[in-house]
Structure 1
């Protein structure tokens, strides 16, 4: 029996360069790398059997790709189009599944707070939209449009009629401007608030340090050792934190924090010190403004808008404290909590840099414009009536 000779492969310089990139590229798919290696070895005159041994492929596979390239070049190394299995679900069924995912379950009579893929699959079958469908198939459909009905984000409607004015005043202070005039070298901006109910939870078993392939382990059961309030003032532009622990919040503890800051330099002899605070009971309204000015004439209280504590930079520091100091909560008593917070202040002040605050008045205008576009007309009318009355 005559033995058929292997097909001769001749490469141009461009083809050789392209095949080498395919064969040795780290991001090239595995099958493409194998096919490129077969062609390169064939161009060196290797037999199909030897190529199969070197590439760990079957000799018939080597013969196939060698022959395809010899007759059609580089384009033939790609997979041919296959008809594949007929689609089981119609585009209408897929669209109805996505439409159902974009509805609240309660609106459709289903006693759920949100949809999950298994629940959607069961509901599609119950409604007769599909015969049977798996949760993984539903998940693939939703992924096409980045739909995640099991997730949610909370929000709050703006109720402060002077929201823009108050927010702009705060944002301008972060940019070292007040009422259109740049701040002087002897003027400072301090952001302040209280972190309530910092608890001392003594775990019933000691916390285990992390180890190889093991996360830190914290016992679920604990004994309560009381709670305290952590008050802090943050110099926005100097990245300096002043803090104190009190049994509870209130006017007296807040003024104690103010005194702690305002009796130290450079704030004691400063031209003006702007205190940015929210609308909590410790520093709410005109009485709080008058109280601060009477105690320290060079102090100016600036309130954030209602329900807009996110404009107060001290909240960023509190989030750092929560992540790095409080959690996981394992303290024997409140004394240990106080000592840890004081030590963290010293550690933070040693290396702290001002926060890179990027939300400007232009961003504020864009935000308000988006809210206006999404606010129903009847809600706008209700707000107008409420403001008028």
Structure 2
């Protein structure tokens, strides 16, 4: 269209400089005006290009991508999802010519902007009070409770357990990194058992308080509560909110009653079922997993315990509160999207 416009403007008597003011390039105006003068209308077509001609026409690429967008069951192929080799074989079987190789299919799918052949797992909220419970937790992160701001003597703790932390010692020492080579870790190891790491995270002060136990359960979690609530500033605090998920160590009203009976200034706040992603302690658990436990090399459970507690002290010296940005507004948007997929079980919005 640009080439035709240049020719039409030239036919009106305009110079190359005047045409360039319309098409933003005097070189472009000069090129296509000259080509038209020398070759006529055929000169506006693309000239033959050097190099290897395209092997696969655009129709073949489109057909392969269309196959990738369909489930294998649609073509009676006994697969849950396509792989590139399977897709290349299927393209040849259905008569797509020339049939691409697996590496070519992989390159086409990687370069495509939309990837409907990929999938991610998710789960519908099944707690009928999901919005209410989640919004209470999000309010606490914003230092709000039942519409009123929290005082300076009120604290918000996020607590959970990390079970099955393994004490594994590599059979051979790691090999140090070298030029163009990462550090190498021995794949074989000796096992020395597992322990459970229980921790409470002060959301607004960025302070972690934890302990290691042989296993999880009501008794180990109670020990964590005692450790935290018998230390300042929580002992003399007006209120201490404990945000927990629905694990067996602190599930339902019975756990909340145990906490309030032992410490009248403590209040347990349960997350909805399948909402551990709203628990900030999970962020800290990912930090300790990445920074201390991967790769692991501990000669026994005592060393593992010492290293975990040492990491706590190290973390507390430089930690800052997490930049938590998920609010009630984001929660309502999420639940609105969910309702579009599950009209049989609509979720109420947070007030």
* TM-score for the superposition, normalised by structure 1: 0.73
Offset of residue 141 of structure 1: 3.7
CA shift for structure 1 position 90: 5.2
Aligned equivalent of 2:11:
none
Task: Look up the match of 1:82.
Answer: 47
Aligned to 2:3: none
Question: Residue 229 of structure 1 aligns with which residue?
Answer: 196
Larger Rg: 1
- CA deviation profile, 1:234-291 (whole Å, cap 9, x unmatched): 0000000001000000001001101111111111000000000000000000000100
C-alpha change, 1:263 and 1:110, in structure 2 (3 Å) is: same
User: CA 1:290/1:101 → structure 2, altered by over 3 Å: closer, same or farther?
Assistant: same
Aligned to 1:245: 212
Is the partner of 1:128 in helix, strand or coil?
coil
Distance 2:54 2:285 in 1: 57
Asked if 1:287 corresponds to 2:254, the answer is yes
**Cα distance change on mapping 1:87 and 1:204 into 2, 3 Å:** closer
The residue matched to 1:327 in structure 2 has which SS? coil
Paired residue for 1:196? 163
* Alignment correspondent of 2:221: 254
**Residues 358-373 of structure 1: matches in 2 within 5 Å?**
358-373=325-340
CA distance in 2, matches of 1:372, 1:137: 39
- Given that 2:158 and 2:244 are in contact with CA atoms closer than 8 Å, whether structure 1 keeps it comes out as yes
- Pair 1:120-2:79 in alignment: no
Structure 1 distance, partners of 2:312, 2:339, is 41
1:348 to 301, 305, 315: 315
Q: Which residue of 2 aligns with 1:144?
A: 112
The CA deviation string for residues 70-120 of structure 1, in whole angstroms up to 9 with x for no partner, is: x958x99xxx943454774353x4433222212232443323332232321
Distance 1:204 1:152 in 2: 38
Q: For 1:155 and 1:86, how far apart are their aligned partners in 2?
A: 41
Where structure 1 has 5 or more consecutive residues not aligned to the other structure, the ranges are 1-68, 385-389
Structure 2 length as normaliser, TM-score?
Answer: 0.81
User: CA offsets, 1:285-333, max 9 Å, x none?
Assistant: 0000100000000000000110110000000000001001111121111
Once residues 300 and 340 of structure 1 are traced to their aligned partners in structure 2, the CA distance between those partners, rounded to angstroms, is 31
**Is 1:157 matched up with 2:124?**
yes
The structure 1 residue matched to 2:70, chosen from 103, 106, 120, is 103
Residue deviations 1:178-230 (CA, integer Å, cap 9, x gap)? 11111011100000000000001111111223233221211111111000000
- How far has the Cα of 1:233 moved from its partner? 0.3
Secondary structure, counterpart of 1:326 in structure 2: coil
Cα deviation code 1:128-171 (max 9, x no counterpart): 1334223344345432333273x542211211111100000000
Distance 1:285 1:247 in 2: 24
For residues 108 and 166 of structure 1, what CA distance do their matches in structure 2 show?
A: 45
Residue number in structure 2 paired with 1:269: 236
CA contact (8 A) 2:56 2:98 kept: no
**Structure possessing the higher relative contact order (Cα contacts under 8 Å, 6 or more residues apart):** 2
Give the aligned partner of residue 40 of structure 2. none
Contact 2:141 2:156 in 1 (8 A): yes
